[in-house]
Chains A and B, each alone.
Chain A
Amino acid sequence: MAALLSKSGADLLFSGSDWDFATLARAHDAIEQVAREDLRLDVYPSQLEIITSEQMLDAYASIGLPLMYRHWSFGKHFLYQELLYRKGGRGLAYELVINSDPCIVYLMEENTMALQALVTAHAAFGHNHFFKNNHLFRQWTDAGAILSYMDFAKRYIADCEERHGTDAVEAVLDSAHALMDQGVFRYRHPPKLSSERQREGIRERLDYEARIYDDLWRTLPSAKASEQLDETEEKAADRKRALNLPQENILYFLEKNSLVLEPWQREVLRIVRIIAQYFYPQRQTQVMNEGCATFVHYTIMNTLFDRHRINESAMLEILHNHSNVVFQPAFDDPRYSGINPYTLGFDMMQDIKRIATAPTAEDRDWFPDIAGNGDWRATLLDAWANHRDESFIRQYLSPALMRKWRFFVLNDTAGEAHYEVGPIHNERGYEKVRTALANSYDIGETRPNIQVTDVDLLGDRRLRLQHKVKDGILLDEKSRDATLRHICKLWGYEVSLAGIDMQTGASIYERSSAEIVQ
């Protein structure tokens, strides 16, 4: 008995709540062993950074990136987060993870050792695996280049501020931030980030052009006016062809085609656009990303506990934190603030594990390809790699889980005094509830669909945008006008936005920047 006790004691990764770097490393290695051998995770090397709560607030403010250019809006977010934190309205995250190679994980110094282990499993393996393997991240972001790109962006914008003044840079950034949602490629892959050397080359060329600029050339008489006119016409026609309309990435369009922007302003737009693109996959995979990380930490911690590497008190603390994370109040609970992505993701992944190992007749009916296949690890790895939230829910949300969550659909038509309850968690409703939930995670459905459709560069140069109105959902007029104003600033000429009903093609509204008081 004594031998057994001492043996299990020697195997413990840690005891008590204090941590030091040696213990952290031991825990990390043990977790890594489970993650790689047991769950067959494939991760970037991780870089664990210990930070204080203030530094965590700082990290919040710069939208989670370790390097960020300066802008007042980050200060505003900081003040807001700080206010919440100081008032005790919101605790800070235990960790923050950055999709980069190596994967940077921030650990709060206040965490107890048990929490550090939990967070290591959650972020350094769960999120890390997801970042490295999910197809959206693989195809749309470049984890290896983001840190050096942010370093460049920060220096470039600081440099611009020095040259052109803070206010001028701020004005461009304000406008660009307003269009961040419209600054991503949705339908085609963005070009890879150019290498450091190429960027240097581009900047050097711009510098050179600025240096050799000579105003004298402008005063030379134009020899053949008619010929030049033909030339410009041809050029304009070429440009029009090259505009590649319609274009959903408004920032990209402005960067390439605006007639009033200086080279440095285009570069600023480009920086904002690339950052928006970098975060685009994260917005589409919230449930999966958090679900994956939560599932991974839950599984790893339980495995370690089963192997007597973690003692009961630590496990209790871990489970307590875990259940806080996956807390989901019902819709009529005052604490309800939407569906908790951690909970939904975690529950769905647990459910997939159940379907793969102990399916019911219903599961076999709904999921013939995975039910009872026994290999839940491979099933999950495949789901993590090949889905985003919308397709994941559409594919894997089971009737059993819908009953557990007691999902129902509420039809909300503006102007009516009542909601109408739509499909609920019963035989007739499963498909429809699942579709409705999947749609609510489809970024194409939930964000306004606005594209550049036409611009007559030879005529009035009016930039025509089109908003495809779905289900009669219009834009908030105040923010719409303010955003149009920002587009107008970047475009330099009139901008108009037309609302077209998606189903009927009928024109619903038209708003031009000329009607908006500047």
Chain B
Amino acid sequence: MPIFIDRRLNPKDKSLGNRQRFLRRARGELKRSIREHFRAGKIADIDSGQNVSVPAGGTDEPRFEEAGDSGRRQHVLPGNREFVTGDRVLKPGQGDGAGSKPSREDSEDDFRFMLSREEVLELFFEDLELPDMVKLNLKEVLAFRPRRAGFAATGAPTNINVGRTMRNSLGRRLALKRPKNSELEAVRQELEELEAGCQNDAASARIALLLAELELLERRRRVIAYVDPVDIRFNRFEAQPVLNANAVMFCLMDVSGSMGEREKDLAKRFFVLLHLFLKRRYDRTEIVFIRHTHEAQEVDEETFFYSTQSGGTVVSTALEEMRNVIDARYPPSDWNIYAAQASDGDNFVSDSQHCITLLEETIMPRCQYFAYVEIIDERESHIFGATPNGTALWHAYSAVKDNWPNFQMTRIAKAADIYPVFRQLFTRQPAAGRKGR
């Protein structure tokens, strides 16, 4: 009789720990390859939900292996039908060879395992965050809601807690032996009865005694208040911060004639990335799309990205439209407002000053963050790359940037720039930068 052990009910996932170790190990590698993928590939593709397969390259386990392309070997194979000694067989890959290359290698190192779109994006966004989001949530919260938190000895009369106050009062009255009404009544009644009854010495003596007692009792009642200020307890409220996790993202884009197909395409990609990012990061996020030529209008996402319109370029119209939308629907006390603007930098000559005024006075005070992305020609990129020179709008915005630390601006010349710029714009703010707001 052998020993039987039924292991089926043993805890499962014995190798879960190893699996987690592997995913952690592969994480850096996965992130790197995803970054490559995003840099080179079409960003809009991500949203289609297709899976991205990732080679397990950084997790190979090296050991001394023989190189397949060197030396002389002998393979022993079964199933000879037609060969005799001395025949020559073309190697596979060198034409239509009949022989298949014998291989005992395990192809484990080539395996690619699938990450879902969610996992890919999780890795992609891992160390990205909208600026100061953490600060806003944890430190500098704008909204408070009072919340009951015990009792206090001071407070507004409307907050008196009657029950607690009366309990204190009763205790104090008992401790200080404040005469009760019934005791007082008893003395008074006896006094009345005596006064109404026959008058004799004993009675008058008794009356005098009772009167003295009555006076004592009444004095005690006067001195020992029924409800004393020390009894009073107030409901205590603590102002508890309310996490303000509503975010609205304004996407502003120039769709005028000066924006060519290439510029629009780059801007679209930038917004698509932003759009994805916001959808991912926030539970409750709204996005407002405002496109503008010489006039601005709020449009839906589809129109914003895929329909065209021609006209001049007056940037301030978009800013005004944004201000109007904020006033109408997104009070800054309830919403974290973020804005991103994409443009080729062209603007109607006299409009730039108006833009500065609008930004400085109405928009920046309400915004958590304003990102301006200027799409420039590739040939310009090495000219403008790091210099303050630039278009009219760039100049104007440079002035704003100096005044507002939460205003960021940068240039994009080609598709591959978007991701690094995106990271630069929305990467975690260094500790010093946090004090900005």
- Residues in chain A within 8 A of chain B (CB atoms): 21, 24-25, 28-29, 32, 45-52, 54-55, 57-58, 61-62, 70-80, 83, 102, 106, 109, 124, 166, 170, 174, 177-182, 328-334, 336-339, 405-426, 428-429, 433, 436-437, 439-440, 448, 450, 467, 469-480, 482-483, 486
Contact = CB atoms under 8 A, between A and B. Distances in A.
A62 B18 CA distance: 9
Interface of B: 1-8, 10, 12-15, 17-26, 56, 59-81, 83-91, 94, 98-100, 102-104, 108, 111, 113
Contacts of B98: 332
Nearest to B104: A338
A410 B102 contact: yes
B240 to A, nearest CB: 39
A50 B8 contact: yes
A72 B21 contact: yes
A54 B100 CA distance: 35
B4 A25 contact: yes
Contacts of A471: 71-73
A421 B60 CA distance: 35
Nearest to A250: B64
Nearest to B70: A474
Contacts of B91: 412, 416-419
8 contacts: A49-B4, A71-B18, A80-B113, A180-B63, A331-B77, A331-B80, A407-B78, A408-B83
A424 B2 CA distance: 48
Given A475-B64, A483-B62, A50 B74 contact: no
A476 B65 contact: yes
B22 A410 contact: no
A83 to B, nearest CB: 6
Given A124-B2, A417-B90, A421-B89, A181 B64 contact: yes
Contacts of B65: 448, 475-476, 479-480
Q: Which of A55, A166, A339, A475 lies at the interface centre, i.e. has the most chain B CB atoms within 10 A of its CB?
A: A55
Nearest to A105: B2
B14 to A, nearest CB: 4
B3 A45 contact: yes
A428 B84 CA distance: 11
Given A73-B61, A75-B21, A331-B79, A418 B70 contact: no
B113 to A, nearest CB: 6
Contact of A70 (B10, B17, B74): B17
B71 A473 contact: yes
B62 A421 contact: no
A450 B103 CA distance: 23
A486 B4 contact: no
A475 B63 CA distance: 10
B78 A339 contact: yes
Contacts of A170: 21, 25
Given A48-B2, A178-B61, A418-B90, A75 B20 contact: yes
Contact of A177 (B22, B61, B85, B113): B61
B100 A332 contact: yes
Contacts of B108: 77, 80
A348 to B, nearest CB: 13
A411 B19 contact: no
A70 B18 contact: yes
Given A54-B12, A409-B75, 11 more contacts: A48-B5, A51-B8, A74-B22, A79-B22, A178-B63, A333-B79, A406-B80, A410-B102, A428-B85, A437-B76, A473-B67
A179 B63 contact: yes
B94 A47 contact: no
B19 to A, nearest CB: 4
Contacts of A410: 74-77, 89, 99, 102
B3 A102 contact: yes
A220 B67 CA distance: 54
B72 A25 contact: no
Given A179-B63, A328-B78, A422-B85, A109 B19 contact: no
Contact of A332 (B59, B72, B88, B99): B99
A78 B18 contact: yes
A45 B2 CA distance: 7
A76 B111 CA distance: 10
B89 A21 contact: no
B67 A420 contact: no
A51 B7 contact: yes
Contacts of A50: 4-8
Contacts of B89: 410, 418-421
A414 B111 CA distance: 27
Contacts of B64: 181-182, 448, 450, 467, 475, 479-480, 483
Contact of A49 (B5, B73, B79): B5
Contacts of A436: 74, 76
Given A46-B3, A471-B73, A83 B111 contact: yes
Given A72-B22, A331-B102, A407-B78, A83 B113 contact: yes
A103 to B, nearest CB: 10
B18 A474 contact: no
Nearest to B20: A75
A74 B16 CA distance: 10
B2 A78 contact: no
Contacts of B71: 413-414, 469-474
Contact of B99 (A70, A106, A419): A419
B15 to A, nearest CB: 4
Contact of B72 (A414, A478, A482): A414
B18 A61 contact: yes
Contacts of A412: 72-75, 91
A61 B88 contact: no
A416 B88 CA distance: 11
A476 B67 contact: yes
Contact of B59 (A57, A72, A405): A72
Contacts of A476: 65-68
A433 to B, nearest CB: 6
Nearest to A177: B61
Nearest to B88: A418
A425 B67 contact: no
B86 A420 contact: yes
Contacts of B61: 73, 174, 177-178
A483 B22 contact: no
B76 A73 contact: no
B2 A73 contact: no
A29 to B, nearest CB: 7
A135 to B, nearest CB: 25
A109 B8 contact: yes
Q: Which of B17, B68, B75, B80 lies at the interface centre, i.e. has the most chain A CB atoms within 10 A of its CB?
A: B80
Contact of B78 (A51, A405, A478): A405
Contacts of B79: 329-333, 336, 405-406
A-B interface, 6 closest residue pairs, ranked by CB to CB distance from nearest:
A330-B79, A75-B22, A473-B71, A482-B62, A75-B18, A472-B71
B97 to A, nearest CB: 8
Nearest to A472: B71
B23 A424 contact: no
Given A83-B113, A480-B64, A76 B72 contact: no
Contact of A58 (B2, B5, B14, B76): B14
A311 B74 CA distance: 46
B63 A407 contact: no
Contacts of A78: 15, 18-19, 22
Contact of B18 (A72, A339, A407): A72
A58 B81 contact: no
Contacts of A338: 102-104
